[in-house]
């Protein structure tokens, strides 16, 4: 450990951090290239080859040329993922896609419970109506 001073250790850690940061940026750009809907296949192939063969220049040129719209593509992808998640939750929440049928079923059960609690329905009537609603 005497042959490796503390300053060299910090320098090595900085180089390691920058190396990982570089790979993160490279993968982010490659992902953005393939996610882009406004580019054709040849454009995507050209940018990918440019970024892989000349990584430093390719990444910098890509950031200058298309970096401003990367954020918009990120937002579009997040919105699509959110929409898909909400759609899945609606489908899983109730019968008939969980839309109006799932919501109306819950409303009907709440109304039945209110009627039973107010004394308008007997326990047997409530149970029959609930069984009919749930089947």
Domain extents in the chain:
6-68, 77-134
N-term to C-term CA, the chain: 75
What is the per-residue pLDDT for 103?
A: 59
Query: Contact at 8 Å (CB) between 112 and 133?
Result: yes
The answer to whether the beta carbons of residues 38 and 44 sit under 8 Å apart is no
Q: What is the pLDDT of residue 116?
A: 86
Identify the CA nearest to 28 among candidates 72, 78, 79, 63: 63
Q: Tens digit of pLDDT per residue, the chain (135 long)?
A: 567 788 888 999 999 999 999 999 999 999 999 988 888 999 999 999 999 999 889 999 999 999 888 888 889 989 999 998 888 888 877 555 444 445 577 788 888 888 888 888 888 888 888 888 777
Find the helix packing angle between 123-134 and 100-118, rounded to 10°.
Answer: 180
How many Å apart are CA 52 and CA 58, to the nearest integer?
A: 8
**pTM exceeding the 0.85 threshold for the entire prediction:** no
Q: CA-to-CA distance for 98 and 88, rounded, in angstroms?
A: 9
Query: How far apart are alpha carbons 29 and 61 in whole angstroms?
Result: 11
């Amino acid at each position: 450990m005497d042959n490796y001073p503390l300053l060299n250790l910090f320098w090595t850690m900085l180089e390691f951090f920058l190396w990982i940061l570089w790979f993160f940026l490279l993968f982010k750009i490659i992902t953005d290239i393939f996610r882009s809907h406004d580019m054709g296949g040849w454009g995507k192939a050209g940018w990918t080859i440019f970024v892989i063969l000349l990584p430093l220049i390719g990444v910098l040129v890509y950031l200058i040329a298309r970096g401003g719209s990367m954020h918009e593509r990120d937002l579009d992808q997040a919105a699509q993922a959110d929409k898909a998640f909400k759609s899945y939750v609606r489908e899983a929440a109730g019968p008939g896609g969980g839309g109006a049928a799932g919501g109306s079923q819950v409303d009907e059960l709440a109304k039945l419970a209110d009627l039973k609690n107010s004394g308008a329905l007997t326990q047997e009537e409530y149970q029959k109506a609930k069984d009919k609603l749930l089947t």
